[in-house]
Amino acid sequence: MRIFGRVRQRPSTDWRLATNRAFTLIDDGRYEDAGALLTRAADLEPWLSESWFNLALLHKFRHDWEQARSAGLRAVALLERDTGAPDWWNVGIAATALQDWPLARRAWQAYGLAVPGAGTVADEPLGMDLGGAAVRLSPEGEAEVVWGRRLDPARIEVQNIPLPSSGRRWGEVVLHDGVPHGERSTGDAVFPVFDEIELWAPSAIPTWVVLIEAASARDRDALERLAADAGYAAEDWSSSVRLLCRACSESRMPTEDGDGAVRHDPHDHSVPGSPGPLGHVAPDGLWTPERECGLAAPEPLVRGLLDGWVADSPDTREWRDLEEVC
């Protein structure tokens, strides 16, 4: 086989040395130096799809989406197989970041995924029915794993209320990588955990933290339902947040049983019984009335939601210390 006028062969020793060194530099965050080496490798072996795949990866790490798209397209032009190549997945991520929907559709289809709405190729490839997944927000900082709804293979809409340390809000859409780092299991179902790449669509809904007194779990649940019925969200951070080390977070972790009871496991580094985001399990399973809750709602509505919640059962409910945190 001849490509670019030369017989295809194994990449040269210089290509391998340059590529290996480049990925060592990428691991150290030295993207500029790695880029020079990968560019040299592509000059040495322009016929090799891996040369351009590696450059596309580097540009993805740098969030340089124009260059990632360009290198990715050169990589797929040299592929010898029709479907399933990761080169197409990287093209899909870059196209999604750039809102190049015709190319995104082409990339997902070339990878082997069914994309509905073929008659409207200029529109977002919505309705792919990919279900739920978890996404690790701010993976290089104070990482936090939250649940979300997959809009397509590269975007997740955040459905939890993230902690303020993540810098993310409920309802935001984040661009995520294609290779999962960890899993979360609920009963018999297992969900991948993807790493966020960057914020794709911000949310205008602020995050609030409030201390509530809820005599029972039913009182707490009533606040969450009230917020959901209004089109927003409330979340009991005292029970939903667990502190995990990196190794645990990137493994398969159980979340809740079908009846909502949190599994006890040795990998959970939270402090049981402490109000706030490190105390998701009370000692001996006893209910702790004081709860730290996150709320996602507009400022004109949030106090009315809390007051309405208390008014429905003033003897068993109370709130205080409302603060906007993100």
CATH code of the domain covering residue 310 = 3.30.70
Quick one: 192 and 241 in the same domain? Answer: no
Query: How many CA atoms lie within 13 Å of 219's alpha carbon, on the beta-carbon side?
Result: 23
Helix (H, G, I), strand (E, B) or coil at 244: coil
| DSSP letter string, 187-232 | TTEEEEEEEEEEEEE---PPEEEEEEEESSHHHHHHHHHHHHHTTS
The one-character DSSP state at 73 is H
Q: Are residues 309 and 220 in the same domain?
A: yes
Q: What is the pTM of this model?
A: 0.82
**Domains in the chain, number:** 3
- Are residues 195 and 235 both part of a single domain? no
Specify whether the CB–CB gap between 56 and 75 falls below 8 A. yes
Residue 117 lies in a domain: no
Of the candidates 63, 65, 104, 103, the residue with the CA atom closest to the CA atom of residue 197: 63
Report residue 52 CA to chain centroid gap: 26
190 CB-near residues (< 8 Å, 6+ apart)? 183, 184, 252
Residues 58 and 75 reside in one and the same domain:
yes
Contacts of residues 14-23 at CB distance under 8 Å and 24 or more positions apart, as own/partner, are 14/44, 15/41, 15/44, 15/45, 15/48, 15/51, 18/44, 19/50, 19/54, 22/54, 22/58, 23/54
Domain encompassing residue 94: 13-111
Distance, in Å, from the CA atom of 174 to the CA atom of 294, rounded to the nearest integer, reads 20
Tens of pLDDT, residue by residue, the chain (326 residues):
334 444 456 789 999 999 999 999 999 999 999 999 999 999 999 999 999 999 999 999 999 999 999 999 999 999 987 678 899 999 999 999 999 999 999 999 999 998 887 555 667 876 777 888 999 998 887 789 999 999 999 999 999 999 998 899 999 999 999 888 888 888 778 888 999 999 999 999 999 999 999 999 999 999 999 999 999 999 999 987 765 555 454 554 566 543 444 444 544 444 544 445 544 455 556 899 999 999 999 999 999 999 999 999 999 999 999 999 99
Same domain for 25 and 75: yes
Has residue 239 been placed in a domain?
Answer: yes
Decide if 285 is inside a domain: yes
Strands 132-137 and 189-201: parallel
Count CB-CB contacts under 10 A for residue 114: 9
Residue 5 lies in a domain: no
Q: Is the residue at 76 inside a domain? A: yes
